[in-house]
Amino acid sequence: MSALRLDVVSLVPEALAPLLGLGVIGRAFASGIAELHLHNPRDYALDRYRKVDDEPYGGGAGMVLKPEPVYAAVEAIPVLPRRRVLLMSPQGQPLQQADLRRWATDYDQLVLLCGHYEGFDERIRALADEEVSIGDFVLTGGELPAATIINGVVRLRPGTVGSEACLEEESHSTLLLEHPHYTRPASFRGLEVPAVLRSGDHGAIARWRLQQQRDRTAARRPDLFARWQQQPQQHPDQS
């Protein structure tokens, strides 16, 4: 599989640079699993002052990101055949694990557009294939959402995480939250590792883990549990 090319259009590209040294994600970049390219719209501004924002038509508070520098920055990026352009926006669709897996699997290039200031000119939306939100709140810019997506996508690319099974069993991979984990010692400050995990009975362990996933999801995320219940169910020994 070829390297995943990640292009981030941002007024503060230095905010994304730490990803290059971030644990397994940094190692994925160093080993060629993914490539990170940063593009500052200010480099494409049309005036001598490199102005990238202006007052909104109709009045109102704050400044709005101008379309010309953003369009020029995006148009200067090489285009790979399987490319997706994502706009970071609090008005976008909520980010889901399924989105990260789709982008990691179906595309060779992701272009992430980060807004700033009060907002961006509406015409910038026309550049994007999808608008993405990481939650019902507003940040000063799209850099943290972009970093979240990059982290989530790169870790799903083959070779980033040592064991593919780890990715299949974690929270949100099947709508259910992950089951509890324990390691040595068996007893710690009066808290015991469940006996079933020390039994060596793999069938019983699988059933216990699935029940724990069900109970935990029902208690913490009833919305996810309701969606999981609507799916065709599979016996844990068949997974």
Helix (H, G, I), strand (E, B) or coil at 35: strand
CA atoms of 81 and 183, how far apart (whole Å)? 45
At residue 236, the pLDDT reads 47
Domains within the chain, CATH numbers bracketed: 4-154 (3.40.1280.10), 170-238 (1.10.1270.20)
pLDDT exceeds cutoff 90 at 95: yes
CB contact at 8 A, 173 and 97: yes
- In which band, very low, low, confident or very high, does the pLDDT at 146 lie, cut at 50, 70 and 90? very high
User: For the chain, how are helix, strand and coil distributed in percent, rounded to 5?
Assistant: 40, 20, 40
CB contact at 8 A, 118 and 90: no
**What is the number of other CB atoms lying within 10 angstroms of the CB of residue 47?**
9
pTM value?
0.88
What are residue 87's phi and psi, to 5 degrees? -105, 125
- In which band, very low, low, confident or very high, does the pLDDT at 61 lie, cut at 50, 70 and 90? confident
pLDDT exceeds cutoff 60 at 21: yes
More confident residue, 119 or 53: 53
Tens digit of each residue's pLDDT (9 = 90 or more) over 147-206: 999 999 999 999 998 656 555 555 556 889 999 999 999 999 999 999 999 999 999 999
* Residue percentage of the chain with pLDDT more than 90: 84
Give residues with Cβ within 8 angstroms of 123, minimum separation 6. 67
Average pLDDT over residues 128-142: 96
